[in-house]
A and B are shown apart, each in its own frame.
Chain A
């Protein structure tokens, strides 16, 4: 090019001709390899636009030549995982709970699958560790209202408690105080008796009066000694575990107003294999019968 190239006196390097307040810019071009790598990246990017989905359009986006879609990638991967699980799930679907538990492979698969299904579907009420809350049973302990065998747990999951399902499990405890079935004094007496049979501090005289009330009003469901009855969903009262609290205050509240917890039925929400895995997982938590 025919222009005057000015050289810097000190370094002997060409200047670009740009000058600011007497400071001149030296012409030190980028290394060639750097520049060529940069150009190669630009060409690569153009190729990428053509081959892959890249540009957003108003209602869609360019699709690219090879039909790649990251969403489809996920769908494929999920299908792949499902196919890999199928060999176990197909067997679990048809096997009985006892057979599954006898087969180490199926048992381990069920425990893992059940844990994952529990976290998604059950932990909202029962807690991440199935530890329960007031009104939501702890599934780790050895006290079961509707029974703690794998089959009974499975039935509870299938039909729920007081759910919309026709075969749902339903227990009705009368609201003794609210509906006027028992006098306040009688309620105090029976509460004192329940405190006695569950091994807590109580007033002996009041409790012995409460025994009569218990025999008349409560024992038909909860049993003569308060041992409970799985078939009716009547909780055991002679132990240390209380769904709604076992102190005097909580018991009085329960006898007065009754309690009705609800668990949804899962028959139409989860498939058979998942329910089986859940039953086995819950049974394994430590309290299974």
Chain B
């Protein structure tokens, strides 16, 4: 700031040159009804700590979304080198050092449980942080509003433009805006598909029209959704479509930090006048800045509302005004209900308690699920055996009186190289084992990263035939490294 403007802002403080905006909260309490046509919201630009924080979060989340598929990760010659890849044709999910087969989808369940508990924890600590900062709907809507402001100007300019009759200027600006929005939408859909195929190859295919039709239709659908959700529907997605606001009401408590208006300090609100006595009135000068910046079209001074996504832009707007009129900051701030009550009772505020039963339980559950998943990942075997015992017939009597059982054995080789296995039996006396189509029992070859299936017959002499059933183990040994997998199964015989 140069000398002159500094002087000017000094002057503003004394004369409190705060613009009072003629704005009505379109979604304010009195105007909510079950069915109503949408009134367009023109969010004004906010400046301040939380706005900066939101820009940073937007940059970070968008960067992760767009760049993640391009990270390479060397897995050797027989596997894709994309760090994050959902490979539907081969039925594999790759995430850096983790590789998941379809039957291991429980890892995803664990991940979703952690994500849900994480949301619970954050919400009980600081309200709808997810909604206000990181939800894709918020991030993309913010991006779309930024583009809108760039093309059409800030709130008042946009209102003027919408009211103005059709002109070349208006058409040009509106067209530019929509074209930019559609481009962003296409880039959004375009980035999505890179998670499902080798990104560099797909990028070339995409622009040379070699990519599969499903790639183009996915891009089109997601581009359409992004355009409609971010450009047209915006706050309606949160208010009417999303179940999360309803759930979150049950997740906050009286100690959660929630964006709220200190009505004990702000009321009675009254317009600003020079040389007035602050002791006989509240700090709120009814300038409506908090309403003008709200992307949800609510008035935070009405109290806690389902529509509020806790984006904290009203805090920025109000703090700016408070600075100008030289009053203490935080008339709107992250505040707890406990403190609200304490102030009303004339007690001093207390620091919000972070460690309370609710948050400790959430954190503990996250730790438990995380540890279970970690243990499962660390002990994950690259060799899995599935054994199917023949149901029909359960057993076959042979001409020498012996009993034979048939098994289908599936060997899952989760390494990226061919492996040879030997199969043996543990716990069944005098049993003979034979693999259909193979000489001996030590030539079971399974291709790299594949499943192979073998028919195995096990027979025991009449003298050793079990009465009804007998449990035993198949032992599959990797001939190269001695890695063993032991699976229990059953041998059936006639009941004697």
- A: which residues have CB within 8 A of B? 28, 31, 127-131, 138, 140-143, 199, 236, 239-241, 284, 286-287
Contacts and interface: CB of A to CB of B under 8 A. Distances in A.
A128 B391 CA distance: 10
B401 to A, nearest CB: 4
Contact of A129 (B391, B399, B462): B391
Most buried by A among B392, B393, B436, B457: B393
B295 interface: no
A128 B404 CA distance: 18
A142 B399 contact: yes
A143 B391 contact: no
A131 B35 contact: no
Given A128-B392, A129-B392, A129-B393, A141 B457 contact: no
B393 A140 contact: yes
Contact of B399 (A28, A31, A131, A240): A240
Most buried by A among B35, B392, B396: B396
A143 B396 CA distance: 11
Given A128-B392, A131-B396, A138-B396, 7 more contacts: A28-B35, A130-B393, A140-B393, A143-B399, A236-B399, A286-B406, A286-B457
B397 interface: yes
B135 to A, nearest CB: 26
29 contacts: A28-B35, A31-B35, A127-B392, A128-B392, A129-B393, A130-B393, A131-B392, A138-B393, A138-B396, A140-B393, A140-B396, A140-B404, A140-B406, A141-B396, A141-B397, A141-B399, A141-B404, A142-B398, A236-B399, A240-B398, A240-B399, A240-B400, A240-B401, A241-B397, A241-B399, A284-B436, A286-B396, A286-B404, A286-B457
A138 B399 CA distance: 11
Interface string B381-398: 000000000111100111
Most buried by B among A142, A236, A286, A287: A286
Nearest to A143: B399
Nearest to A130: B393
Interface in B1-52: 35
A143 B399 CA distance: 6
Contacts of B400: 239-240
Contacts of A143: 398-399
Nearest to A239: B399
Contacts of A240: 397-401, 462
A236 B401 CA distance: 13
A287 B459 CA distance: 12
A236 B392 CA distance: 25
B401 A131 contact: no
A129 B390 contact: yes
A200 to B, nearest CB: 10
A225 to B, nearest CB: 14
Most buried by A among B390, B398, B404: B398
B409 to A, nearest CB: 15
Interface string B251-283: 000000000000000000000000000000000
Q: Which 5 A/B pairs are nearest by Cβ-Cβ distance?
A: A129-B392, A131-B393, A239-B399, A240-B401, A140-B396
Interface residues of B, number: 16
A284 B397 CA distance: 16
Contacts of B399: 141-143, 236, 239-241
Contacts of B35: 28, 31
Contacts of B436: 284
A126 to B, nearest CB: 11
A254 to B, nearest CB: 18
A241 B393 CA distance: 15
Contacts of B393: 127, 129-131, 138, 140
Contacts of A239: 399-401
A263 B436 CA distance: 29
A239 B399 CA distance: 5
Most buried by A among B390, B391, B392, B462: B392
Interface in B452-491: 457, 462
B391 A141 contact: no
Contacts of A31: 35
Contacts of A28: 35
B436 to A, nearest CB: 7
A105 to B, nearest CB: 14
A286 B436 CA distance: 8
A141 B403 CA distance: 10
A143 to B, nearest CB: 4
A129 B390 CA distance: 9
B249 to A, nearest CB: 27
Contacts of B457: 286
A131 B398 CA distance: 12
Most buried by A among B391, B400, B457: B400
Nearest to B406: A286
Contacts of B391: 129
Contacts of A284: 436
Nearest to A198: B401
A31 B397 CA distance: 73
Nearest to B390: A129
Nearest to B404: A286
Contacts of A128: 392
B228 to A, nearest CB: 14
A14 to B, nearest CB: 15
Contacts of B462: 240
A143 B390 CA distance: 20
A287 B398 CA distance: 8
Contacts of B390: 129
Contacts of B392: 127-129, 131
Nearest to B434: A286
Interface in B360-399: 390-393, 396-399
Nearest to A141: B396
Interface in B211-251: none
Given A31-B35, A240-B462, A287 B397 contact: no
Nearest to A28: B35
Contacts of A129: 390-393
Interface string B439-463: 0000000000000000001000010
Nearest to B33: A11
B439 to A, nearest CB: 15
Most buried by A among B399, B406, B462: B399
Contacts of A140: 393, 396, 404, 406
A6 B52 CA distance: 55
B401 A141 contact: no
Contact of B396 (A199, A236, A287): A287
A229 B258 CA distance: 93
A115 to B, nearest CB: 12
